[in-house]
Amino acid sequence: MSFDPTDFSFGANTAPKRDRKAEWQKRKHKVYLQACEIRDRLRKELGNECNECGAKDSDENHLCFNHLEPRDWEPNKKNLLQRMKLYERDYKARKINLLCNECNGFDGGWYGLQRKLKKKLSSG
Ligand SMILES: [Zn+2]
């Protein structure tokens, strides 16, 4: 049998491209829903409000998980579900609380800290 360079079907997935894409999207959606479920459950267990100011989750001011000590994982190297599973693990170890964007700072770090410091200084 000779090799035909124009035959691209060799070794290719025979499912039509459209189906594969739909399949992938379905899987992605399932993962997303799973992640949301964990996130909602953790939020509820953490009181569903900001640990600093008591704000509730809203469109302008989202609640997010905040690590009380430096986390041992990189969020941008994980997908949503992996992150939620790690948050769940850290929640069980009492390493996270809930903070709103205002208190947390939009990047979850330095700016929030600065804002807190400023608040502290201005309040005496
Ligand atoms: Zn807050």
Q: What pTM was computed for the model? A: 0.68
What's the gap in Å between 56 CA and the centre of ligand 1? Answer: 8
Using DSSP bridges, classify how beta strands 96-100 and 63-67 pair: parallel, antiparallel or unpaired: antiparallel
Q: How many CB atoms lie within 10 A of CB 66?
A: 21
Q: How many CB atoms lie within 10 A of CB 48?
A: 13
What's the gap in Å between 112 CA and the centre of ligand 1? Answer: 10
Which residues are near ligand 1, the ion (C-beta closer than 5 Å)?
Answer: 50, 52-53, 55, 100, 102-103
Q: Is 5 contained in some domain? A: no
Mean pLDDT of 31-38: 96
Q: Is 4 contained in some domain? A: no
What's the gap in Å between 104 CA and the centre of ligand 1? Answer: 7
Which pLDDT value is given to residue 104? 83
Q: Is 8 contained in some domain? A: no
What's the gap in Å between 99 CA and the centre of ligand 1? Answer: 5
Q: Is 67 contained in some domain? A: yes
Residue 108 pLDDT more than 60?
no
- Within 8 A by CB and 6+ apart from 86, the residues are 71, 73, 78
Residue 43 pLDDT more than 90?
yes
Residue-number span of the structural domain to which 105 is assigned: 17-122
